[in-house]
């Protein structure tokens, strides 16, 4: 049997027809359920445990003297398949200074921009009066298979990303730039200077089933190259992949379940591990999300570099 692969346009069509709110992007598990709060709290704890210098308060589980102080440079994060910016608002903006969102669906990027302008929840950081404390976001309209975090304005080429590369779907558009007026945004057509401008975190949540294995391997490799590095060349940033996970035995033992509705695949733990290994990434941490309703797929967060 030939493996069913996600179709970019079919995925975009599905999400374009979905309501542009938290209920929509979370498949009905919105504000009326414990899912958004639990999810955001766990993600923030995971990020702070990986990057303790991001903590804005002295961590209650450490003696005060051992708390690392926050360096005075801007911390940068990338929100992948960002939808309406739920993760940016509830997880990333409270911790990071400059956040890039990547999302292919027009009504979602429009809603993310509206949310940012309204300034509720974490979006309030874009409106802080003191310019030195104000944060910034850029919203990119693109599919991840067409996006290079190292130089977003440079088109992605290569077999892994399908034949449609020359088409309009491969376009990467800087849709909006909000918040801090004099933010030190890197030049999008040139390689990031990873020591000063690399991402401290590339956050991938509930979207990566829209990429085939080869597209995912290629995207993870591009992301890895865009992480912050120390002067001596060691990696300082992380990629977090937080996704639904099916059983290894699902999909007739392939560990991959194709969803006809949104044209995406759910992968098993083993299928994810294989992809990470192909991308040359190491799993630094693996956390199973607790507290979600039992009828949902288990959700696992992998921290990688
Ligand atoms: N990560 C967000 C949104 C989850 S909904 C959150 O957790 O709230 C799934 C998202 O994946 C939708 O916004 C959808 O438009 C996006 N998506 C679909 N195809 C994609 C692709 N090829 N690249 C990136 N994102 C994609």
pLDDT tens, residue by residue, 235-276: 999 999 999 999 999 999 999 999 999 999 999 999 999 999
* Most informative mutation of 14, 18, 83 for ligand 1 (most atoms within 8 A of CB): 83
- Give the span between the Cα atoms of 175 and 142, in whole angstroms: 10
Residue 224 Cβ contacting ligand 1 at under 6 Å: no
pLDDT of residue 255: 96
- Give the span between the Cα atoms of 31 and 290, in whole angstroms: 18
Q: What count of Cα atoms within 13 Å lies in the side-chain half-sphere of residue 27?
A: 11
Residue 196: C-alpha distances to residues 150, 176, 187, 229 (Å):
13, 23, 13, 8
- Give the span between the Cα atoms of 49 and 52, in whole angstroms: 5
Element (H, E) at 102: strand 98-103
pLDDT in tens, the chain (305 residues): 578 999 999 999 999 999 999 999 999 999 999 999 999 999 999 999 999 999 877 767 777 777 677 888 999 999 999 999 999 999 999 999 999 999 999 999 999 999 999 999 999 999 999 999 999 999 999 999 999 999 999 989 865 555 444 556 778 999 999 999 887 899 999 999 999 999 999 999 999 999 999 999 999 999 999 999 998 889 999 999 999 999 999 999 999 999 999 999 999 999 999 999 999 999 999 999 999 999 999 999 999 99
How wide is the angle at C-alpha 248 spanned by C-alphas 47 and 211, nearest 5°?
60
Number of H helices, E strands in the chain: 8, 10
| Residue positions counted in the chain | 305
Q: What are the backbone dihedrals phi and psi of residue 261, each rounded to the nearest 5 degrees, phi first? A: -65, -55
**Do the Cβ atoms of 70 and 53 come closer than 8 Å?**
yes
**Do the Cβ atoms of 186 and 174 come closer than 8 Å?**
no
Residue 93 CB partners (closer than 8 Å, separation 6+)? 99, 122, 123, 125, 126, 135, 137
Residue 103 Cβ contacting ligand 1 at under 6 Å: yes
Q: Which two tokens stand for residue 25?
A: 């992007």
Q: What count of Cα atoms within 13 Å lies in the side-chain half-sphere of residue 82?
A: 36
Which residues sit opposite 290 in a β-bridge? none
- Nearest Cα residue to atom 26 of ligand 1: 81
- Nearest Cα residue to atom 21 of ligand 1: 143
SS3 104: coil
Residue 86 Cβ contacting ligand 1 at under 6 Å: yes
CA 80 to ligand 1 center in whole angstroms: 7
CA 178 to ligand 1 center in whole angstroms: 21
CA 111 to ligand 1 center in whole angstroms: 13
């Amino acid at each position: 049997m030939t493996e069913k692969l996600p179709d970019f346009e079919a995925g975009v069509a599905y999400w374009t027809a979905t309501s542009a709110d938290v209920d929509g992007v979370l498949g009905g598990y919105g504000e009326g359920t414990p899912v958004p709060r639990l999810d955001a709290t766990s993600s923030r704890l995971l990020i702070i445990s990986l990057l303790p210098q991001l903590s804005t308060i002295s961590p209650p589980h450490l003696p005060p003297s051992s708390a690392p102080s926050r360096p005075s440079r801007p911390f940068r994060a990338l929100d992948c398949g960002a939808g309406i910016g739920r993760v940016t608002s509830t997880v990333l903006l409270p911790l990071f200074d400059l956040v890039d969102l990547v999302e292919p669906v027009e009504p979602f990027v429009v809603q993310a921009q509206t949310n940012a302008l309204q300034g509720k929840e974490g979006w309030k950081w874009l409106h802080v009066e003191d310019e030195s404390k104000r944060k910034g976001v850029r919203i990119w309209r693109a599919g991840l298979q067409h996006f290079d975090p190292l130089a977003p304005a440079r088109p992605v080429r290569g077999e892994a990303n399908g034949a449609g590369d020359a088409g309009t779907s491969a376009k990467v558009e800087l849709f909006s730039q909000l918040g801090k007026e004099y933010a030190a945004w890197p030049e999008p057509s040139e390689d990031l200077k990873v020591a000063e401008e690399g991402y401290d975190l590339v956050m991938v949540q509930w979207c990566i089933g829209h990429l085939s294995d080869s597209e995912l391997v290629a995207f993870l490799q591009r992301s890895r190259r865009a992480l912050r590095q120390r002067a001596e060349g060691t990696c300082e940033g992380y990629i977090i992949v937080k996704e639904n996970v099916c059983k290894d035995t699902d999909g007739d033992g392939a560990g991959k379940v194709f969803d006809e509705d949104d044209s995406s695949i759910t992968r098993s733990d083993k299928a994810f591990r294989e992809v990470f290994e192909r991308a040359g990434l190491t799993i630094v941490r693996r956390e199973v999300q607790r507290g979600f309703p039992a009828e949902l797929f288990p959700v696992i967060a992998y921290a990688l570099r």
